[in-house]
Amino acid sequence: MIRINLLPRRREAKREGSNLWAYAVAILFVAEVVGLVVVHAQKKSVLDAQTTKNADVEKGINDKKGKVANHEAVKKQLGEFQQREDAIAKLQAGRTGPTAMLLELSRVLTPGKMPTVDPEVYEKLRSDNPTALPSERWDPHRLWLIGFKELDRNVSISGIGKTNDDVSEFLRRLSVSRYFTEVKLVKTEERTEKDSSGAALGQTTIAFDMRAKVRY
């Protein structure tokens, strides 16, 4: 009967098994370390990207805050510019407006001329109240002005017409003109014409006073 001693081999097998287990643990440790490094790198990349994004957002917010902070100053400056433009426009109107108004008055009292009327206004008057339209056949020599005053775009006009119809025609012309508004006949007075000696000539005229506002 043959006997085989297996004890040494069992010890060698145990030694080999321990070495394999140590290698496996080492490999797992290294793999875990590598995994942690890879995961850390990925997380760091994501964190860096988010940090950059947050910095851009914060920069945008700061830029908007700066613009909002200047809003009131810009608004105030624009208001000052607008006031200057309004003042310049008012001064310009004050220079050219009276000239245009006097030219219109001259036009109204010129034979063959008619007042400056907006076409829409003229057509509406023609449709609604034709009697309010001025006459093209009126002779302006039948009326003359003896007084004209303006204060803050309010004018007072005094004059003499040969008849009440002449005064009425002058009133109509001013009323439809785009340069005058709120034209009113304040009073009329019939007068008898006299010669240089004070003797009556048998002719009468109509003295009148008007009030109006001018546009310019």
> Is residue 11 over pLDDT 60?
no
Write out pLDDT tens, residues 150-181: 988 999 999 999 999 999 999 999 999 999 99
Backbone angles phi, psi at 4, to 5 degrees: -120, 125
- Residue 212: which pLDDT band, with cuts at 50, 70 and 90? very high
Residue 46: inside a domain: no
> Is residue 26 over pLDDT 60?
yes
Side chain identity at residue 35, one-letter code: G
**Contacting residues for 173 by C-beta, under 8 A, at least 6 apart:** 108, 114, 115, 134
Residue 110: inside a domain: yes
Is 183 within 8 Å of 173 (Cβ atoms)? no
Residue 16: inside a domain: no
Write out pLDDT tens, residues 30-44: 667 666 666 677 777
Q: What domain range includes position 161?
A: 101-214
Residue 176: inside a domain: yes
Give the pLDDT of residue 147. 94
**Contacting residues for 216 by C-beta, under 8 A, at least 6 apart:** 93, 96, 97, 98, 100, 101, 153, 179
Write out pLDDT tens, residues 173-199: 999 999 999 999 999 999 887 767 666
Residue 3: inside a domain: no
Task: Give the strand order in the sheet containing 200-214.
Answer: 143-151, 154-161, 200-214, 180-194
**Cα atoms in the Cβ-side hemisphere of radius 13 Å centred on 15:** 6
Is 163 within 8 Å of 153 (Cβ atoms)? no
Residue 65: inside a domain: no
Q: How many domains does the chain have?
A: 1
Residue 120: inside a domain: yes
Residue 8: inside a domain: no
Write out pLDDT tens, residues 46-98: 777 777 877 777 777 777 666 655 666 666 666 765 666 655 555 455 555 68
Give CA–CA dist 111/196, Å, rounded.
29
